[in-house]
Chains A and B, each alone.
Chain A
């Protein structure tokens, strides 16, 4: 979709005062899976079930999956964020990694993603991390621009890859 840089600024509608962020619950999974499919185009039920099963367990005590909802009930989940605190991978000291963030496409630019970002940053701080990192696809301008808007800049690592087939 072509950007319209001269399009006048629209009034930013703030996130609803009723928006609430909380850890994901089992009843939320269908809504989370559906939202992720709408955003990414790929349905991943096993991925999210595995994520959920690993939350708070001995193996992954510092993994977070937070949802944002308006009003009570799984049917009103408007976004989610996934992250975890890791240590010594790629030589990195303890830091929090955001591995996914999604907001209902029709509800963007209302501050919901910012609320999710700030909530997981708080969770990372409480877990002893003083740095937050992420690794979005370079061509996903929406997501990269969002992280930039939160003050994120390029980190010390560079992603490298090689085709094996």
Chain B
């Protein structure tokens, strides 16, 4: 959950890099508490991805690099992707069945890791924008343009 909130927060802030946005405003869009979101934003701040300004008109701003920051970079601030090595099926004394299952699970982990590490924030913003524009331009059966639903 924290990883997902962190990604949503980064997408909101990075899509408006010149303006500050409060945790309350982000929380309202995604239906999460400001308290929970603030903890996530604090972690993003320690990682150098967002900066906070206090006071009236303050909030958070994205200060990272959208082309260099990937989904994996964000997720790994909150959780480990994949099973830690040297545990379970890799441990000394693991059965053959453990080792084979471990090989299969490592395949899943490797694919997940590579996928998340290949998608930058810039790419995510583009995908979101493309989807919104596709909704706006997609004609309804009656010939009218469908309204974009955010």
CB of A7 within 8 Å of the partner chain:
yes
Q: Are A145 and B48 within 8 A (Cβ)?
A: no
User: What number of A-B contacts does a CB cutoff of 8 Å give?
Assistant: 54
Q: Are B48 and A5 within 8 A (Cβ)?
A: yes
Stretch in contact with the other chain, from B30-38, B52-60, B112-120, B139-147:
B112-120
Q: Are B120 and A9 within 8 A (Cβ)?
A: no
In the complex, chain A residues 1-17 whose Cβ is within 8 Å of any chain B Cβ: 3-9
When chains A and B are docked, how far (Å) is the Cα of A96 from the Cα of B111?
24
Task: Give the dominant DSSP class at A's interface.
Answer: loop
Q: A5-B48, A5-B73 are in contact. Are A148 and B64 (CB under 8 A)?
A: no
CB of B81 within 8 Å of the partner chain:
no
When chains A and B are docked, how far (Å) is the Cα of A120 from the Cα of B43?
42
CB of A138 within 8 Å of the partner chain:
yes
What residue in chain A is nearest B117 (Cβ atoms)? A141
Q: What range describes how many residues of B lie at the interface?
A: 20 to 34
CB of A154 within 8 Å of the partner chain:
yes
Q: A138-B110, A148-B123, A149-B126 are in contact. Are A5 and B64 (CB under 8 A)?
A: yes
For B48, list chain A residues within 8 Å (CB).
Answer: 5-6
What residue in chain B is nearest A136 (Cβ atoms)? B118
What residue in chain A is nearest B113 (Cβ atoms)? A138
Task: Output the residue of B49, B68, B115 with the most chain A CB within 10 A.
Answer: B68
Mark contacts of A89-106 with chain B using CB atoms, 8 A cut-off: 1 yes-contact digit, 0 otherwise. 000000000000000000
For A139, list chain B residues within 8 Å (CB).
Answer: 114
In the complex, chain B residues 52-106 whose Cβ is within 8 Å of any chain A Cβ: 63-70, 73
Q: Are B49 and A5 within 8 A (Cβ)?
A: yes
For B67, list chain A residues within 8 Å (CB).
Answer: 9, 109
Contact of B64 among A6, A138, A144 (CB under 8 A): A6
CB of A151 within 8 Å of the partner chain:
yes
What residue in chain A is nearest B74 (Cβ atoms)? A5
Q: Are A148 and B63 within 8 A (Cβ)?
A: no
Q: Which residues of B contact A (CB under 8 A)?
A: 47-49, 63-70, 73, 110-111, 114-115, 117-120, 122-123, 126-127, 130
Interface CB pairs A-B, < 8 A, 16 = A3-B68, A3-B70, A5-B48, A6-B48, A6-B64, A6-B65, A7-B68, A8-B63, A109-B67, A138-B111, A144-B118, A145-B70, A145-B119, A145-B123, A148-B120, A151-B130
